Amino acid sequence: MSKNRYQYNASALLQNKQVESNHFVISDAAFKSLPVPEAYIELFNGFQVHWVIAGEECKSLQRAQEIWHWLDTVNATRFDTLIIIGGGTTTDLGAFVASTYKRGLNFILIPTTLLGMVDAAIGGKNGINFNGIKNAIGTFTEPSKITIDTSWLKTLPKRELLNGWMELSKHALVGDELLWKELGHYTPNDPDINWDKLVKAGSSIKRKIIESDFRESGERKILNFGHTIGHALESVAAESKTPLDHGFAVGVGMIVSLHWSAHRADEAFNKSELRDASDQLKKWLINEDNGDPWRWSTSQNPSELWPFMRKDKKNTSNAVLDIQLIGIGEANWDCPLEKLDFEMVWDAAF
């Protein structure tokens, strides 16, 4: 993805609209009532909008079909532009729809959550869930532009900041030891955080990786750190109708994967720093607002998570493949994880 795809202010987006195409908007329905940063009001007032109720439930064939039907109703062509405004689930769904409607139309992403700004909107991966499996159907398709503006973060509740903080932490753990140390000085709700600095640092880690491995044949796989276990937790939660945020699930997954990495580490120093990183994640995840998801997640039976991990799309036919940290900022991919080892480190982690 070329650097000029990324914009860090709204005026750049509005100045560069392609005048020869029509524009349509897909947006998280929360912005019917939440205050929208002033620079973006023109987008809602000037174009036709399709509202999406965000959440994992929206990443379905039914919701995709509804938007395809809407695009057909408003006579959208493959030469038009779709502007997608919202968090990770909204941009996943919207980008999947855009990449498949009439074999693909131009789209712009405006992530409104921390998770979207540092992870979900970057990299061209999009998709929907199918048969209880996360992101089972999707494409690799890049947006023409991504507008990253931290003024949207003012609209977020605490738990949404924590969700994004987990993905930001993941980027630091697999790719930037200095950023990880800096994050350790804060909690996601500290009022003196320089969000522009942290978002640019976190997103640049992913940008650098995907520029060398867009289709995830090698190094890009390290960005799945914590996700094999996290996605399994989300699948079990969906089956039992238990609310569980993606970032929170990934955070729990990273704790287990850090213990697995420490178990496999050669050096005592690496074992210690990996366990310390696990403890830091726990401090962020365990607070008065997250008692229920923490208790639910850590009470799960690892043998019941394993079947979902076996179905993860990163696996080969014979093995569950996971990410092992060698140390903070250094990771190996395609590391076979055995069921007995997973059960052992799960019990050790909690």
Active site residue ranges: 103, 125, 167, 206, 216, 220, 224, 227, 231, 246
CA distance 201 to 210: 15
- Do 297 and 250 touch, CB atoms closer than 8 A? no
The residues, ordered by sequence, that sit 6+ positions from 187 with a Cβ below 8 Å of its Cβ are: 284
- What is the CB-side half-sphere exposure of residue 63 using CA atoms within 13 A? 26
| DSSP letter string, 29-82 | GGGGTSPPPGGGHHHHHHSEEEEE--SGGGSSHHHHHHHHHHHHHTT--TTSEE
The residues, ordered by sequence, that sit 6+ positions from 301 with a Cβ below 8 Å of its Cβ are: none
CA pseudo-torsion sign 110, 114, 116, 118: positive
Tokens (6 digits) for 209: 């990786």
Look up residue 116 and give its DSSP letter: I
CA distance 126 to 136: 10
The residue assigned the tokens 């693909």 is 104
